[in-house]
Structure 1
Amino acid sequence: MAKKRIGILTAGGDAPGLNAAIRGFGKAAIGKYGWTLLGFRDGMRGLAENRYVELDRSILSGILTTGGTMLGTSRDKVHRMMVDGERRDMIPTIVENYEEAKLDALVCLGGGGTAKNAHRLAEAGLNVVHLPKTIDNDILHTDSSFGFSTALEIATEAVDRLHSTAHSHHRIIIVELMGHRAGWLALGAGIAGGADVILIPEIPYHVESVIDMIKRRQARGSTFSVVAVAEGAMPIEEAQQLEYARSLVKDASSPEAKAIAKKSVKEIENAHRGTSLALAEKLEAGTGLEARVTILGHVQRGGTPNGADRLLATRLGVAGADAIHDGHFHVTVADRGEGTELVDLDETAGKVKYVPTDHEWIRAARDVGTAMGD
Structure 2
Amino acid sequence: MSERKKSAFDERITSERAILRRYINEGRDLPTDVFPIGQPIIKNPVSAEKVGVYRDFGQRKSVTADMDVIGEFAGKSKLVPSFLEAGPRQLLYHDPQSVRAAIVTSGGLAPGLNCVVHSIVTRHWNTYSINEAKRGGVFGIYDGFIGLYARPLDKVRLDPDITEYWLDRGGSMLGARRLTGKTLEDLATTITENLTLNDINILYVIGGDGSLTVAHEIAKHARTVSVVGIPKTMDNDVLWVWQSFGFNTASEKATEVVNTMHSEAESTRRVCIIELFGAESGFIAANAALASGHVDLVMVPESFMALAEEQYEKLLSLYVEYLSRVVRDKERAHAVVVLAEGVGELLKQKGISLGGTLITGKEFAGQFRSYLQDKLKDRIGQAVDVFVNQPRHNIRAIPANAYDQTYCERLGALAVDNALAGYTDFMISQWLTEYVLVPLELVIVGQKSIPPGGMFWKQVISSTGQPHIESPPAGESMLST
Q: TM-score range by the shorter chain?
A: 0.7 to 0.9
Give the structure with the larger helix fraction. 1
Structure 1 residue 237: Cα displacement = 5.9
Residues 1:111 and 2:208 are matched in the alignment: yes
Q: How does 1:284-323 map to 2 (within 5 A)?
A: 284-288=373-377, 289-323=384-418
Of 231, 235, 239, the residue aligned with 1:140 is 239
Residues 1:345 and 2:440 are matched in the alignment: yes
Percent identity between matched residues is: 29
* 2:167 aligned partner: 64
TM-score, normalised to structure 1, is 0.85
Structure 1 residue 234: Cα displacement = 4.1
Give the secondary-structure state (helix, strand or coil) at the position aligned to 1:8. Answer: strand
Distance 2:393 2:361 in 1: 19
Of 112, 124, 146, the residue aligned with 1:17 is 112
Deviations along 1:208-236, one digit per CA (max 9) or x if unpaired, are 11122223324543521100000011498
* 1:360 aligned partner: 455
Of 107, 127, 131, the residue aligned with 2:226 is 127
Contact 2:189 2:218 in 1 (8 A): no
Pair 10,111 (structure 1): closer, same or farther in 2 beyond 3 Å: same
Judge which range, 69-78 or 348-357, deviates more: 69-78
Q: How does 1:1-374 map to 2 (within 5 A)?
A: 2=95, 3-35=98-130, 36-49=137-150, 50-76=153-179, 79-80=182-183, 89-125=186-222, 126-194=225-293, 195-204=295-304, 206-218=315-327, 220-222=329-331, 223-234=333-344, 238=348, 240-241=350-351, 271-288=360-377, 289-349=384-444, 351-371=446-466, 374=469
Distance 1:192 1:235 in 2: 26
Structure number with greater Rg is 2
Distance 1:77 1:122 in 2: 20
Contact 1:78 1:117 in 2 (8 A): no
Give the secondary-structure state (helix, strand or coil) at the position aligned to 1:187. Answer: helix
Pair 235,132 (structure 1): closer, same or farther in 2 beyond 3 Å: closer
Counterpart residue identity of residue 203, structure 1: S
Distance 1:63 1:235 in 2: 35
Deviations along 1:222-264, one digit per CA (max 9) or x if unpaired, are 521100000011498646349xxxxxxxxxxxxxxxxxxxxxx
Structure 1 residue 369: Cα displacement = 4.0
TM-score, normalised to structure 2, is 0.67
Counterpart residue identity of residue 171, structure 2: G
Structure 1 residue 349: Cα displacement = 2.0
* 1:259 aligned partner: none
Equivalenced residues, count: 342
Task: Give structure 1 stretches of 5+ with no counterpart.
Answer: 82-87, 243-267
Contact 1:334 1:340 in 2 (8 A): yes
Distance 2:346 2:214 in 1: 33
Distance 1:221 1:73 in 2: 45
Give the secondary-structure state (helix, strand or coil) at the position aligned to 2:120. Answer: helix
Pair 72,216 (structure 1): closer, same or farther in 2 beyond 3 Å: same
* 2:48 aligned partner: none
Deviations along 1:39-90, one digit per CA (max 9) or x if unpaired, are 1111111111212122122212232222111212211159439xxxxxx924
Distance 1:76 1:340 in 2: 30
Give the secondary-structure state (helix, strand or coil) at the position aligned to 1:361. Answer: helix
Distance 1:304 1:372 in 2: 36
Structure 1 residue 9: Cα displacement = 1.1
Structure 1 residue 171: Cα displacement = 1.6
Distance 1:136 1:237 in 2: 19
Distance 1:37 1:53 in 2: 8
Distance 2:467 2:208 in 1: 27
Structure 1 residue 368: Cα displacement = 2.6
Counterpart residue identity of residue 58, structure 1: D
Pair 237,296 (structure 1): closer, same or farther in 2 beyond 3 Å: closer
Structure 1 residue 91: Cα displacement = 2.9
Distance 1:57 1:120 in 2: 30
Structure 1 residue 328: Cα displacement = 1.8
Distance 2:125 2:467 in 1: 49
Structure 1 residue 297: Cα displacement = 2.7
Structure 1 residue 373: Cα displacement = 5.4
Pair 175,369 (structure 1): closer, same or farther in 2 beyond 3 Å: closer
Contact 2:245 2:404 in 1 (8 A): yes
Distance 1:106 1:317 in 2: 12
